[in-house]
Structure formats: structure tokens, C-alpha cells
Chains A and B, each alone.
Chain A
Amino acid sequence: MYSDKIKEILAQHGKLSLDVNTLTDTSNLYDAGLTSLATVNVMLAIEDTFDVEFADSMLNRKTFQSIDALVEALEELTAS
């Protein structure tokens, strides 16, 4: 359920060079053109949408690598 919303956020804030709908849940977002500035904007949008706060320790490449990785991060944040 998170993944649809994350796709929406990526479409709006990710500034990807590919159409989000062509991505699979495991596609590498950096290969799809995700920059560090876009990463931060995606993070802020996820925080607003789901009312969560990313811990500083989660702010690394792996967390933002794919839709799956973002879902996993979000599950971790909403579980606590």
C-alpha cells in the first residue's frame, strides 16, 4: 500500500529521467536519475505524507535506492 503513494511522491519530487510507471519496486532510483537534492525532497514529502521522521542514521544511499527500500524504511518508521 505504501508503494503506490511513494510512486506518486517520486513522480512529483524525484525529478527522475524515466517515467515512474516504468520502474519496478526494485529498480535502482539513482540509475533512474535521482540526485541528492531530489532525495532530500522525496524524504521531506514522505515525512509530510506519512507523518514520520527519518532518523539521521537512515539517511544513506541504501534507504533511497529503490521503491522497495523506501517502503522498508517507512515500515520501520511507522512500526516504532
Chain B
Amino acid sequence: MSGVFADVQALVEELGRTVVSEYASDVDEKARFPSEAFEAFKANKLLSAYVPEKFGGHGLSISELCKLCEILGAYCASTAMIYAMHQIQVACLVHHGQTSSWFQQYLRDLVEKQFLLASATTELGVGGDLRSSVCAIEKNGDSFVLNKQAPVISYALDADAILVTCRAHADAPASDQVHVLVKKEDCSFAEIAGWDTLGFRGTCSSGYELKSKGHCDQIIPAPFVDILAQTMHPVSHLTWGSLWTGLASDSVHRARQAVRHAHKRNPNAPPVSSLRLSEVDEQLFSMRSGLYREIEEYKTLLAEGNPDAFSNFGFSIRTNNVKLRCSEMLVDIVGRALMIVGIMGYKNDSPLSLGRHIRDAYGAAIMVNNDRIRGHNATMQIAMRERS
């Protein structure tokens, strides 16, 4: 761990304990953007944590970035999810935009102005299938027009730019896609769906008919299929898995507080719930171990720099496994923690409440449906031969 990262980590812990945690309930209750937390992140330049130092960012590694998501996930999963989703988009620019002078300048501006980036991949008619688009970019000389029916765009109205997937031209097949950055000031949003959900309420993920325009320099200079394989797919699952692990660890933490309390009341006989606590901690251990292993594998692949390695079936399956296992273990862990804490966890107004945790937990498997992902794995499994 670099000295710089130790400072960043301590700072994020501190912000988590204070501003993030302080507003978590209000953000959840009102389904509103966690503006206090993001003002603090911006003031501390945390939105450019993954931007290389040569552009003025912190230049954190993927494992360091994931650690920040994990820390935030323990205090407010919505705040952590927004932070993660923003960093996924930043990673797309960092990994695939640097050959363009426009994106080099954009990264410098992002550091200076702490732009918040949102994402519009999901589309009416194709759902969470990232590899298909209905809408197409319409180029006219150097400029373009891009309109998309996007049923879910998290924090669209609080973002400074949105990265949109679309077909590369009017005649392109659904899978021939590009990834385009559109600036907030060049967009109009007509709401087509609201966001009154069970969990992840603070992500404010309403749906919009998005109309935008821009300069053709704003198209990331790489086919989207490569951006997805090398960056968006792994970074999404690893940062999401990290914040879910943070959420799970806070649930276990609350369970531990309840067990300790029970133990103090009757110090001569450990409470039955202490056994359950040990058990749920084993689950958390497994969740975190699988995640960390994949973060390390991805970090190694990034260092090796062989672009073909990212589309390898084995790596894709393992990345998907992180999403599948972490999202399902999360529900299991929070549920077990609730059984341990009991009535004080079931109450919304108790300090050990797990209400928000359990509602957020159920969102993980929905967010790109697990069965869709498992379906991809099922196909690739048939081709795999070696023992893993």
C-alpha cells in the first residue's frame, strides 16, 4: 500500500463515519441524491481518484479503488453505488480515451472541476443486454445527435456528463456499438419512469428520454465491445462486489454489537447467537475472499496489458461469479444478521436497524439480472475443459 493511499483511505473512512453515515437515512427515506457526501468527495478530489497522476488525479490502482467502495458501502450503499458507478465510467475514459487529445483534456478538467459521470447503457427494448443497442448516433460533419429511451439512469440530473452506448451509425447492427460522452448542458431529459424502489433509493435511477448533441471527438476512440470486456464488465462487478461486501460487513458488525450486548448481560454462558455470528462471519469471509482474488487477477491482467486476455472465457466466468456470488451471499448475510440482532434489527428506528441493509441487499441480484449473467456463464461453461 502506498503512503498516498493510506491517507486517502483514512480520509474516506472519516467521511464515511461522518457525512455519509449522517445522511444515509434521510437519503434513503426521501430517495434523494446524497449531495452532502458528494460535495465532500468533490472538495477532497475523490471523484478523480482513479485518474492517473499525470492528469492530476490520485492515480489509484483498481484494488485501492475497490477498497474505497467497500468502505463507503458500510456507511451508505446508495452513496457507495453512485461512487462506484461514477468510477466505472472514469475507468472507461482512463483505459480507452487516452489516445485522444479531447479525452486527455477532459480528464484534466474532470480532476479540476470534479465532474460526476453517469451511465446510460440500459435501453427500452433490450433491457440489461449491454451488447445490443437500438438507438444510433447520427453524425453530421463534426457534430452528432444522439437520442435514447433509457428506462434507468442513476443520478442523471446530478451528473455533469453521461456516457451513452448506441449503434455506431444508422445502418449498424445492434452489436456494433460506440460509447459516447454527452455533457449535461447538451442534454434534455423527459422523465419516462420514476424511482420509488425498495432499495438503492438514493441512486435516483429514474428513466428518461434522453436527447443530446455534441462533437464527434466525444466518441471514445475504441469499439464498445473492447471497452466492455477490458473495463466496464470487470470494473462494474468488482466495484459493486466491493460495496456489497461493505454493506455485508456492516450487517455483521451490527450483529456483533447485538451479540456482545447479550453476552454482557449473561457473561457466564455465551449466547446462542454467538454461534450464529461465527457462522455469518464465515460467509462474509468467503464473499470477500472470492472478490479479492478476482480484483488481484484483474489487476495482474491490466499490468500485463494483453487485450485478448480480458475476453477469455475463464476470466469472464470468474468476473461473473463475483457478481453472482456476492449479490446472493449479500442477501444471505444480511438475513442471517437480522436473525441475530432480532427485533432491534427489524425496527427501522433502532441503532441496530437492518431495514435499509436488507432492502438494498435485494437490489444487487436485480441490477443486471443474475439469471441473465448466469445464462452467459452457462454457455461458456460448455466450452471449458480444464479443472478450475
| Chain B residues near A62 (CB-CB < 8 A) | 308, 311
| Chain A residues near B379 (CB-CB < 8 A) | 36-37, 40
Please encode chain B, from 346 to 388, with 1 for each CB lying within 8 Å of some chain A CB and 0 for all others.
0000000000000000000000000000001001101111100
**In the docked arrangement, what's the CA distance between A30 and B385, Å?**
23
- Contact of A59 with B382 at beta-carbon distance under 8 Å, contacts A17-B173, A30-B225 already known: no
Q: Restricting to A9-68, which residues have a CB under 8 Å from any CB of B?
A: 17, 30-31, 33, 36-37, 39-40, 43-44, 53-57, 59-62
Do the beta carbons of B176 and A56 come within 8 Å of each other?
A: no
Least distance between B301 CB and chain A CB atoms (Å): 12
Do the beta carbons of B309 and A59 come within 8 Å of each other?
A: no
Least distance between B229 CB and chain A CB atoms (Å): 7
Least distance between A13 CB and chain B CB atoms (Å): 13
**In the docked arrangement, what's the CA distance between A45 and B173, Å?**
26
Do the beta carbons of B173 and A31 come within 8 Å of each other?
A: yes
Do the beta carbons of A54 and B383 come within 8 Å of each other?
A: yes
| Chain A residues near B175 (CB-CB < 8 A) | 30-31
Least distance between B267 CB and chain A CB atoms (Å): 55
| Chain A residues near B312 (CB-CB < 8 A) | 56-57, 59-60
Most buried by A among B229, B311, B383: B383
**In the docked arrangement, what's the CA distance between A37 and B382, Å?**
10
Closest to B172 in A: A31
Do the beta carbons of B176 and A40 come within 8 Å of each other?
A: no
Q: Does B290 contact A (CB under 8 A)?
A: no
- Contact of A60 with B309 at beta-carbon distance under 8 Å, contacts A30-B225, A36-B379, A40-B379 already known: yes
| Chain A residues near B380 (CB-CB < 8 A) | 36, 40, 59
Most buried by B among A33, A39, A56, A60: A60
| Chain B residues near A37 (CB-CB < 8 A) | 379
**In the docked arrangement, what's the CA distance between A33 and B314, Å?**
23
Size class of the contact patch on chain A: 10 to 19
Do the beta carbons of B313 and A60 come within 8 Å of each other?
A: yes
| Chain B residues near A39 (CB-CB < 8 A) | 383
**In the docked arrangement, what's the CA distance between A56 and B383, Å?**
8
Least distance between A39 CB and chain B CB atoms (Å): 8
**In the docked arrangement, what's the CA distance between A17 and B175, Å?**
12
Least distance between B384 CB and chain A CB atoms (Å): 6
| Chain B residues near A54 (CB-CB < 8 A) | 383, 385
Do the beta carbons of A56 and B229 come within 8 Å of each other?
A: no
- Contact of A53 with B308 at beta-carbon distance under 8 Å, contacts A31-B173, A61-B229 already known: no
- Contact of A43 with B308 at beta-carbon distance under 8 Å, contacts A36-B376, A59-B313 already known: no
- Contact of A56 with B386 at beta-carbon distance under 8 Å, contacts A36-B379, A37-B379 already known: yes
**In the docked arrangement, what's the CA distance between A62 and B306, Å?**
12
Least distance between A40 CB and chain B CB atoms (Å): 5
Contact partner of A60 among B225, B308, B382, B386, CB < 8 A? Answer: B308
| Chain A residues near B376 (CB-CB < 8 A) | 36
- Contact of A59 with B384 at beta-carbon distance under 8 Å, contacts A31-B173, A37-B379 already known: yes
| Chain A residues near B309 (CB-CB < 8 A) | 60
**In the docked arrangement, what's the CA distance between A49 and B223, Å?**
33
**In the docked arrangement, what's the CA distance between A61 and B313, Å?**
9
Closest to A36 in B: B379
**In the docked arrangement, what's the CA distance between A69 and B260, Å?**
62
Least distance between B147 CB and chain A CB atoms (Å): 24
Do the beta carbons of B173 and A59 come within 8 Å of each other?
A: no
Do the beta carbons of A61 and B308 come within 8 Å of each other?
A: yes
**In the docked arrangement, what's the CA distance between A59 and B386, Å?**
12
| Chain B residues near A30 (CB-CB < 8 A) | 175, 225
**In the docked arrangement, what's the CA distance between A57 and B229, Å?**
16
Sort A-B residue pairs by CB-CB distance and give the 7 closest, nearest first.
Answer: A61-B311, A59-B313, A60-B311, A60-B312, A62-B308, A40-B383, A56-B386
A43-B383, A57-B312 are known; give 14 further A-B pairs, CB within 8 A: A30-B175, A36-B376, A37-B379, A40-B380, A54-B385, A56-B314, A56-B384, A56-B386, A59-B312, A60-B308, A60-B309, A60-B312, A61-B225, A61-B311
Which A residues lie at the B interface, using CB under 8 A? Answer: 17, 30-31, 33, 36-37, 39-40, 43-44, 53-57, 59-62
Which B residues lie at the A interface, using CB under 8 A? Answer: 173, 175-176, 225, 229, 308-309, 311-314, 376, 379-380, 382-386
Q: Would you list 5 pairs from A and B whose C-beta atoms are within 8 A, ordered by A residue? A: A40-B380, A40-B382, A54-B383, A55-B385, A59-B383
